[in-house]
Each structure stands twice: as C-alpha cells, then as structure tokens.
Amino acid sequence: MIRNPIPWPNGARMAAAITFDVDADSLIHVARPTDGFDRLAPISMGRYGPTVAVPRILDAYRRLGLRQTFFMPAWCMETYPETVEAILEAGCEIGHHSYLHENPASHSDAEQGYWFDRATEVHVRMTGRKPRGYRAPVYNVTQGVLDRLIADGFLYDSSLMADDIPYAMRTAAGEILELPVHWGSDDWPPFAHYEEIGYLMPVRAPSDGLRGFFEEFDAQYEAGGFWIGVFHPFLTGRLARWRAMERWLEGVLARGDVWFAPLEDIAAHVAAVRGAGTPVREERLPYYARPPHLG
C-alpha cells in the first residue's frame, strides 16, 4: 500500500514513464579521456543508441500514440543532431543529463556549474527552450546540484530513490519535485556488459531481464502508484529486447487505465494537485552536514 497516493488524471489507476538516457559513446570518452576516442568497440556499442535504436523506439511510440522523455548529455545532442530532431519531431521531451556524462560528485561546485550551464546552453540552442527536468549521470546528485536546479527553475529531478511515488526535495534554496527511480527498473544491471568502465555483468536473456521491470510495474499498478523505466537505447533498444518491450507495452496500454506521459507532464500534474491540496511528502536537506560517524 501507498500511504499518500496521488490522484492521476482522467481516472487513471497509475502513472508510468519509459525514460531513455541517450548516453551514446559519451561513457567511453569520460571514462578514458586520453585513449577512449580510439576504442572503436565501445564507441560502436554507444553509437547504436542514437543511430539505430532511437528511430526504432520512436517508431513504436508513434504507432502506440506515446510521447515520452529522453535524457541526453549535451555533447551527445551536438554529436547526433538528427537524433535530437527526431525526438522533438515525435513530440517527446529531452531532459538535462550533463554535458559529457561527467559525474557531479567528482567535480568541484564551480566545475560542475560550468558543465551544467554549458549543457543548458546546448538545450536552448537545439530545442528552443530550457530543459524542465534533470537526471544526474549514475544518479549522482549532490545538494549543490539540487540547489542549482532550484535556482534555475527546473520543475523536477529524476535521480533519487526515497519513495515509490513523486515527492518533494526541500533545501534552504527552495524545493523541487523528485520523480523517483530505482535500480529494480534500470536496464544497466541486467543488460550492461562494459569492461572499460568496470561492468562485467552476466547479460540476461531479454525475457529474464525485462521480467524484473514488469514485476515492479505490476506492484505499482496494484497500488495505484508510479513507475519509471530507466533505459538506455544501446541496451533496451536492441532488437530482441525492444521487441519484447513493444509487446508488453501493447498489453499494458490495452488496459486503458495507465497514464503514460513525459516526465514534465507528470511533474506538472503533481504540482497542480499539490497546489489544490493533495499532500505530497517532503524530504528536507541537508541529510547530514558532515560525515555522521565522525561525530
């Protein structure tokens, strides 16, 4: 059960979103800054995302009448401009996902701010507007990042895991909605095999890997909650996995009571019902001002 359920629009039982992080080959360049540019195997694995998988995914969305959210490092947007055009053409959202998939927690605040703003400028130039939402590379949000999102007027973050349904993150700077994620609905553990960045996972069969996501979805459906799939085009956009996803989508859409929407629409809805009096749980920062075990 969920203690503080959110009423979804048009009598929908739950809200759901498939989000694709279009990281492409940014991962190898940021992990191997000096020689990644000549490692063709991981580059090719990444390039499959924007060039082969995203058009396939958008075809399915068009056929099924879906608009969804993509998160894209700005360097990937500049490197694959046709992919950006195709996503926008399909009416989908592109959220902020760093510049080159740099990890916010491994940069100083000033460095993080530089790359963050540089990425925002790319969004404005290529999409005509500032992004409404953010997802941190490897979910590595810091309070400095949240404060920057709040100062910049972002509507939501989608990197944290403290609830089943949307909640609010409050800091001294203000607050932002959190559309929570979880590793149980992330395709990295079952499908990523990427030696250069330290992942040597046993790759699961499509039906095995996807089954975990579907079970997470079913529990949220039963509870009237909220489900986000966190996927990567070069993993779940591969032929066999996306074929299985498409069939699953056909089934859940046929139920007629699941609201699939871009995250910005879901966040706007949560903000509206909250404004009308529906309680939304708050988490307050800082959790800790210093390492708690050092007194």
The window from 17-25, 55-63, 152-160, 237-245 that contacts Zn ion (CB under 5 A) reads: 17-25
CB of 44 to Zn ion, least distance (A): 18
The count of other CB atoms within 10 Å of the CB of residue 240 is 11
- Map tokens 């499959």 to a residue: 48
The window from 22-30, 55-63, 109-117, 174-182 that contacts Zn ion (CB under 5 A) reads: 22-30
The window from 23-31, 55-63, 120-128, 214-222 that contacts Zn ion (CB under 5 A) reads: 23-31
- Which tokens hold the place of 146? 């949240």
Query: Which CB, 179 or 270, lies closer to Zn ion?
Result: 179
23 binds Zn ion (CB under 5 A): yes
Contacting residue, 14, 20, 21, 230, with Zn ion by CB under 5 A: 21
216 binds Zn ion (CB under 5 A): no
The window from 3-11, 14-22, 203-211, 249-257 that contacts Zn ion (CB under 5 A) reads: 14-22
- Total binding residues toward Zn ion, as defined by CB under 5 A: 2
Any alpha helices (H) in 65-172, and if so which ranges?
74-79, 81-89, 109-127, 143-151
Binding mask 137-166 for Zn ion (x = CB under 5 A): ------------------------------
What is the DSSP code string of 23-90? -TTHHHHHHSTTTGGG-HHHHHHHHHIIIIIHHHHHHHHHHHT---EEEE-HHHHHH-HHHHHHHHHT
Distance linking the first and last C-alpha atoms of the chain: 37
Query: Which CB, 20 or 154, lies closer to Zn ion?
Result: 20
Residue with the shortest CB distance to Zn ion: 21
Query: Which CB, 99 or 260, lies closer to Zn ion?
Result: 99
Residue pair 190/208 in contact by the 8 Å Cβ criterion = yes
Please name the residues in contact with 66: beta carbons below 8 A apart, sequence gap of 6 or more.
18, 60, 249, 253, 260
Query: Which CB, 21 or 186, lies closer to Zn ion?
Result: 21
- Cα separation of 26 and 96, whole Å? 14
Binding site for Zn ion (CB under 5 A): 21, 23
